[in-house]
Chain A
């Protein structure tokens, strides 16, 4: 039937979601043209994604924090501090990396839960509580790195998290075989999930999009995954950072869209009083969200420390603001209750792409900040406009 009409109405309904992807596409295309394809080279894309990793995981956690109408300013220095603790455990104490990582993640959860208690049980505004946390972690980071200054990490397994790539097994035409296999697996998983969703809908006798639109969507998304895989396989393949980032996104996407817990989080965000009266434990949800934020701060600290192969006295500076910016570019609403994990990841990649592209073009750092600020404002303006239109 009317293929064009259906596609048009789909775009109209999902304009906010598609807007993100279109913006990313336009940015990437523009930089590719301006840099004669250098921007989309295997090496640059690989670097770009690795450099996004530690902000992206923070942005995922921050999305949930903002969804429940709070904010967490402490995550940057918390990441820096926990990264330094990891470095101390690895070097001074000789703890192996496979124990260090879970220990740091658990400390992160505890730290996050503590903020959760301050906010939910004692009733301190999250802005103030996390501002205090920010100062405390900054001091703590300086304290632990005071004597040694920068702590150099020599554990290769740990450093691989930030710099290493999955093994390549063999190379065919300069492409990493294992990365290609991973890419194919992702595509197959994606196609399987789309088909099972569609079949289940048909089983319930619900309306589904027409076959042609469905096929177009599946082919289009698969092609994008294939393209990214191909680009990455042409350099060193998937990095561990990218794998970790993908896992975090998949897990959190599932949690927020498919589980009762996710529903509770969005319910608390859109109307805490109604959530309370619906039998949802608002305090518990606040603990969980701040606990998860703490864990992801720890993960961010691990990624950043591993990437630098050392813990520095200034690690984590302004991470929180980059994460908040990524979440807002990704469509989170300050009024609460609205925001997607996938959106925030795209937001983080958009911001990283801007930095990377402008670096390649040799744009001065002063202009870079201004342009990124303008993009943040533009994204939120677009958000407000489309939301008004819909209501």
Chain B
């Protein structure tokens, strides 16, 4: 009687002490389109990684039942054999290979180790027909647009006789037209009996396509909504998504006094020539002295790109528009220009482009301001240790000494080192990109406390964050970004989670 193609029962998963999933139940009926919804960090991706075998059996608790039998996936190929295919947001195609090579990559049409390319092309054509993609299979992937690449990915999944297709934010990088085509294709596949799980942030899409929708929050299943019962609507989804109340993990700031505009940008547009698209579009924004300005929005909405384009443009975007610092127009050609003008940027990816992981705490703290510990180009080692010790104490960095290698510290302590490095520069405007991502509540509180202290000392802060609670708890004013644009501006009084989500999912 099992009408469910997939049942995930009581799934729990933790990463060295941090609970990512707690007793999640997720059931998908055969032949439906089931949307999985939740804030960033709610556990959607983790759940899908458990399902696809990225996290092998035994590293989580709970059961996966697929077509009535319990499955133990030890690696991704196990789940693929069973008929489960995932298409990630970042496409896993080989840009310099042809369409047919990509469709059958890892699943070659072969006999005794010899590939039959002619047969491959014939079969590739059939798959392309199924996804309604009318192109020559010998085209190179890099010559296709993102929308068509997505279809090739789906064709690839179909070639493996997929029964359950999982799409992780398939329309995030697509324009309206391509998105609509993709949704149409999913309906078509549904008619052919393929079940589909779709992770999406765009609620309009969810409403138009979903038969069911499951909402996750903080690693738990909140509810499953059924379209046939008329349960899926924007307000219901948002209410369930955000749900939680802001408690007092955000230290209150007294005497809020705002001065003149420190930074203002007008009609600010950034074009990324590598991606071939505008990542920031006609943004108007300002920050006053003594203000914490929150920038909310979902991942990929252009927030980080905006920050980088202000901070000396390290990615060499083509910029248009005006940037005023303390009222006078400025042009930063290199991050060092921005640093010298008193801007600091704490990256969202502290391991990737924030810290020197193989170096010790003191070298990291001094890295952006070596002038501060040297004279005539010669470094005073002892002064460096003294400075680093001061930050270690004032920011509660837990480490045996400042000679500790940064790569060995916990995430929270690494974040504090990253922050310390930029405070040592002595900025007047601090841009924090996801300042508390992946760190525990205690360290979060300490970082918020430090932020308030800095504001009281006369600094201004731009805080980019995906965590709505944090945005609402800390900001004096909130901008909401989506698709490279500022979609809304809210004062701290008018801002609430529903309004922000409303703008962010436009």
Which residues of A line the B interface, CB within 8 A?
A: 200-201, 203-204, 206, 258-264, 266-267, 270-271, 273-281, 337-338, 390-391
Which of these binds chain A: B4-12, B331-339, B447-455? B331-339
Cα A332 to Cα B381 in complex, Å, equals 23
- Contacts A259-B379, A261-B377, A281-B334; is A274 near B408 (CB within 8 Å)? no
Contact residue among B336, B355, B359, B379 (Cβ-Cβ distance under 8 Å from A281): B336
Q: Which of B339-372 contact A (CB under 8 A)?
A: 339-340, 345, 347, 352-359, 363, 366-368, 370-371
Q: How far is the CA of A201 from the CA of B339 in the complex (A)?
A: 31
A278 touching B421, Cβ below 8 Å: yes
Contact status B378-A258, CB under 8 Å: yes
Residues of chain B within 8 A (CB-CB) of A391 are 405, 407-408
Task: Check if B378 sits within 8 Å of A276, measured CB to CB.
Answer: no
Query: A259-B377, A259-B379 are contacts. A278–B358 as well, Cβ < 8 Å?
Result: no
B357-A270 in contact (CB<8A): yes
Q: In the complex, what's the smallest C-beta–C-beta distance from B375 to chain A, in angstroms? A: 10
Q: Report chain B residues within 8 Å CB of A275.
A: 356, 367
Contact (A258, B336) CB under 8 Å given A337-B358, A338-B358: no
Majority DSSP secondary structure for residues of A touching B: helix
Q: How far is the CA of A281 from the CA of B311 in the complex (A)?
A: 15
**A-B CB contacts (within 8 Å), total count:** 89
The 9 closest A-B pairs by CB, nearest first: A279-B336, A273-B353, A278-B368, A279-B339, A270-B356, A204-B382, A260-B370, A279-B335, A278-B367
Min C-beta distance of B333 to chain A, whole Å: 11
Please measure, in the bound complex, the distance between the C-alpha atom of A276 and the C-alpha atom of B366, giving whole angstroms. 14
- Give the distance to chain A from B317, nearest Cβ to Cβ, in Å: 14
Q: How far is the CA of A264 from the CA of B359 in the complex (A)?
A: 12
Query: Is A260 touching B371 in the complex (CB atoms < 8 A)?
Result: yes
Assembly CA distance A206 to B352 (angstroms): 33
Residue of B nearest to A278 (CB): B368
Q: State the CA gap A390–B379 with chains docked (Å).
A: 27
Provide the residues of chain A in CB contact with B374, threshold 8 Å. 259-260
Q: Jot down 25 A-B pairs with beta carbons below 8 A, ordered by A.
A: A201-B382, A204-B385, A258-B379, A259-B378, A259-B379, A260-B374, A260-B377, A260-B378, A262-B379, A263-B370, A267-B356, A267-B367, A271-B357, A273-B352, A274-B353, A274-B354, A274-B355, A276-B314, A276-B353, A277-B354, A278-B339, A279-B312, A279-B338, A337-B359, A391-B408
Contacts A261-B377, A271-B357 known; 10 new A-B pairs at CB < 8 A: A259-B377, A262-B379, A267-B356, A273-B352, A276-B335, A277-B335, A277-B353, A278-B367, A337-B359, A391-B407
Measured CA separation A338–B363 after assembly (Å): 13
Chain B residues within 8 Å of A, Cβ to Cβ: 311-312, 314, 334-336, 338-340, 345, 347, 352-359, 363, 366-368, 370-371, 374, 377-379, 381-383, 385-386, 405, 407-408, 421
Closest to B350 in A: A274
Instruction: Tell me the smallest distance from the CB of B12 to a CB of chain A, in Å.
Output: 30
B379→A263 contact, CB < 8 A? yes
Q: Which residues of A contact B357 (CB under 8 A)?
A: 270-271
Contacts of A258 in B (CB 8 A): 378-379, 381
Query: In the complex, what residues of B have CB within 8 A of residue A338's CB?
Result: 358
Among B371, B379, B382, B405, which residue has its beta carbon within 8 angstroms of that of A200? B382
Closest-CB distance, B386 to chain A (whole angstroms): 6
